[in-house]
């Protein structure tokens, strides 16, 4: 929203306040200060009973973060006429609306909570029986309504923007990643099947084998291809068959008789052929475009970063699987450009891109988000896997010499911050945790991996050095 619009909304807020006396404004502010905790409790007590709210809110989040935030929001809204800071309070409502859109909290849920606050205000004012109670109630209702209106303006604009980005990402992903992964993932599916058959026919008394949904192919399809082709009838059919094969393969592991294992293997092979046929139908519409990729490294650029991280957070919350994020930055990169030239710097960045792709699975996401800044989103990955990958990347880059002009070469290092998703619905909090860990890694000597341990209860980031 532009400066002119903010100024207009600030003037409207001021106009509401100007309709009441100084006594009304001061009495209302004192009332809000005295009862803000009660009003906050009323807001969340009723909201937490809504089924839709349980996805966005947990008792830990409400207790550790949101109660204090809402309490301060109430005080700020009614302190405005005392300090005449109308534009900052408008900007705050716009930011709140933007965050709600980012997380996906429906605006009607917020309005329901505001309504509960207003009902409690009536009850509390009736008990006080002040001479100006009616004017105070009128003022409170107007301010809460206008603040909510500003939030909704921002919410709708940002939600539409987010939806547009999600749509374009689906198109981009369908065209780029699926085409690039075509042969690799077909081979991965066949390798999973062949390895299972080999174990069955090798007469091992007890053996283990990963579920198809946890294999290279399964993770890639569920986390990338399924989203790229959202709405295609083949997607649901493929996902259904993946989980059907999981059930069959589990039965193979538990089968007591060889004949039973062979029969189950035949069922698995038949369903795998169905998956291959359905995937081929999806591949027929795939073609390469680079609107969402970095031209130098061929990694994703930051255009779809928020969309992808948000989607994987939703998957992690829904399915209770871990999700990790690595923030990576080349150490002293300016020195490389200054000493060896920008072509050498480009070679270093390209090598980082290659190292990232070599160390991850097809279901993971690699981004170049800035000059020498990269992000890795590791799906279905706990801190153990994330730390292993981070250390592989760090050591490989440290040990590799980059050649430049004849007779000249250099080595360089990277610093890496690592964060495990902590359950909070706001993707920006997740990204910030990895960035904070990266900042600590660079400040403590560079060429190292730091793990950020996020605790929802106290919202602190405990940084522990590794290697």
* Residue with tokens 């390895």, as numbered in its chain: 195
185: confidence class by pLDDT, cuts 50, 70, 90: confident
Does position 465 have pLDDT exceeding 50, yes or no?
no
pLDDT at residue number 173: 59
Does position 290 have pLDDT exceeding 70, yes or no?
no
Q: 10 Å Cβ neighbour count for 134?
A: 10
Q: In whole angstroms, give the CA distance from residue 413 to residue 403.
A: 15
pLDDT at residue number 4: 77
pLDDT tens sequence across 255-275:
878 888 889 999 999 999 999
* Residue with tokens 């830990």, as numbered in its chain: 60
277: confidence class by pLDDT, cuts 50, 70, 90: confident
CB of 452 closer than 8 Å to CB of 399: no
More confident residue, 1 or 406: 406
pLDDT at residue number 392: 95
**Burial class of 304 by CB neighbour count within 10 A (0 to 12, 13 to 18, 19+):** buried
- In the predicted model, what is the mean pLDDT of the chain? 84
The proportion of the chain whose per-residue pLDDT surpasses 70, expressed as a percent, equals: 85
311: confidence class by pLDDT, cuts 50, 70, 90: confident
- Residue 329 corresponds to which tokens in the numbers above? 């930055």
Q: In whole angstroms, give the CA distance from residue 390 to residue 450.
A: 9
Q: In whole angstroms, give the CA distance from residue 228 to residue 220.
A: 11
460: confidence class by pLDDT, cuts 50, 70, 90: very low
338: confidence class by pLDDT, cuts 50, 70, 90: confident
DSSP code, position 293: B
Bridge partners, residue 327, by sequence = 375, 417
Is the CATH number 1.10.490.10 carried by domain 3-165? yes
For residue 245, CA distances in Å to 229, 279, 350, 405, 456 come to 21, 16, 39, 54, 37
247: confidence class by pLDDT, cuts 50, 70, 90: very high
463: confidence class by pLDDT, cuts 50, 70, 90: very low
pLDDT tens sequence across 56-90:
666 666 566 778 888 999 999 999 998 899 999 99
pLDDT tens sequence across 121-148:
999 998 887 889 999 999 999 999 999 9
More confident residue, 233 or 40: 40
pLDDT tens sequence across 22-60:
999 999 999 999 999 999 888 887 676 766 666 666 666
Q: Which residues contact 40 (CB under 8 A, 6 or more apart)?
A: 67, 70, 71, 74
- Residue 34 corresponds to which tokens in the numbers above? 């005295």
In this structure, of 226-230, 239-243, 265-269, 439-443, the range with the lowest mean pLDDT score is: 226-230
Q: Give first-to-last CA distance, the chain, whole Å.
A: 46
- pTM of the predicted structure, to 2 decimals: 0.57
Q: By three-state DSSP, how is residue 329 classified?
A: strand
pLDDT tens sequence across 361-376:
888 999 998 889 999 9
Domain-wise residue ranges, the chain:
3-165, 177-283, 302-466
pLDDT at residue number 97: 85
Q: In whole angstroms, give the CA distance from residue 24 to residue 116.
A: 22
Q: In whole angstroms, give the CA distance from residue 383 to residue 450.
A: 11
- Region 308-322: mean pLDDT is 91
* Superfamily per CATH, domain 302-466: Reverse transcriptase/Diguanylate cyclase domain (3.30.70.270)
pLDDT at residue number 419: 96
- Region 411-415: mean pLDDT is 95
């Amino acid at each position: 929203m532009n400066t002119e619009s903010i100024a207009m909304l600030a003037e409207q807020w001021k106009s509401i306040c100007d309709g009441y006396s100084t006594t009304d404004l001061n009495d209302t502010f004192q009332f809000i200060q005295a009862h803000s905790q009660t009003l906050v409790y009323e807001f969340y007590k009723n909201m937490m009973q809504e089924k839709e709210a349980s996805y966005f809110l947990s008792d830990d989040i409400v207790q550790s973060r949101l109660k204090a935030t809402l309490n301060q929001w109430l005080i700020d809204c009614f302190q405005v006429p005392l300090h005449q800071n109308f534009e900052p309070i408008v900007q705050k409502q716009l930011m709140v609306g933007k965050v709600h859109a980012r997380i996906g909290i429906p605006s009607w849920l917020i309005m329901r909570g505001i309504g509960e606050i207003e009902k409690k205000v009536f009850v509390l004012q009736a008990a006080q029986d002040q001479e100006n109670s009616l004017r105070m109630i009128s003022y409170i209702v107007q301010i809460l309504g206008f603040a909510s209106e500003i939030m909704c303006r921002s919410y709708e604009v940002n939600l539409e923007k987010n939806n547009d980005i999600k749509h374009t990402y689906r198109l981009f992903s369908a065209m780029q990643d699926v085409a690039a992964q075509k042969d690799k993932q077909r081979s991965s599916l066949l390798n999973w099947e062949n390895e299972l058959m080999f174990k069955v026919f090798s007469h091992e008394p007890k053996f283990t084998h990963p579920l198809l949904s946890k294999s290279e192919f399964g993770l890639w399809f569920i986390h990338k291809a399924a989203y790229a082709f959202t709405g295609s009838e083949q997607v649901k059919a493929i996902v259904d068959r993946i989980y059907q094969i999981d059930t069959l393969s589990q039965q193979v592991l538990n089968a007591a008789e060889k004949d039973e294992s062979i029969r189950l293997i035949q069922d698995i092979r038949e369903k795998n052929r169905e998956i291959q046929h359905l995937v081929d139908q999806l591949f027929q519409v795939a073609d390469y475009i680079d609107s969402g990729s970095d031209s130098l490294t061929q990694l994703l650029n930051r255009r779809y970063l928020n969309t992808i991280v948000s989607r994987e957070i939703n998957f992690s919350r829904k399915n209770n699987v871990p999700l990790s994020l690595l923030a990576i930055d080349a150490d002293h990169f300016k020195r490389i450009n200054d000493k060896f030239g920008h072509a050498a710097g480009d070679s270093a960045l390209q090598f980082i891109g290659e190292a990232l792709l070599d160390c991850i699975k097809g279901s993971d996401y690699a981004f170049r988000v800035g000059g020498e800044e990269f992000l890795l989103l590791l799906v279905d990955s706990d801190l153990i896997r994330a730390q292993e990958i981070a250390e592989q990347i760090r050591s490989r880059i440290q040990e590799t010499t980059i050649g430049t002009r004849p007779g000249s070469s250099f080595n360089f290092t990277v610093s890496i911050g690592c964060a495990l998703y902590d359950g909070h619905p706001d993707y920006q909090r997740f990204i910030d945790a990895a960035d904070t860990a990266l900042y600590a890694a660079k400040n403590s000597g560079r060429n190292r991996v730091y793990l950020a341990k996020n605790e929802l209860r106290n919202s602190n980031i405990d940084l522990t050095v590794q290697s």
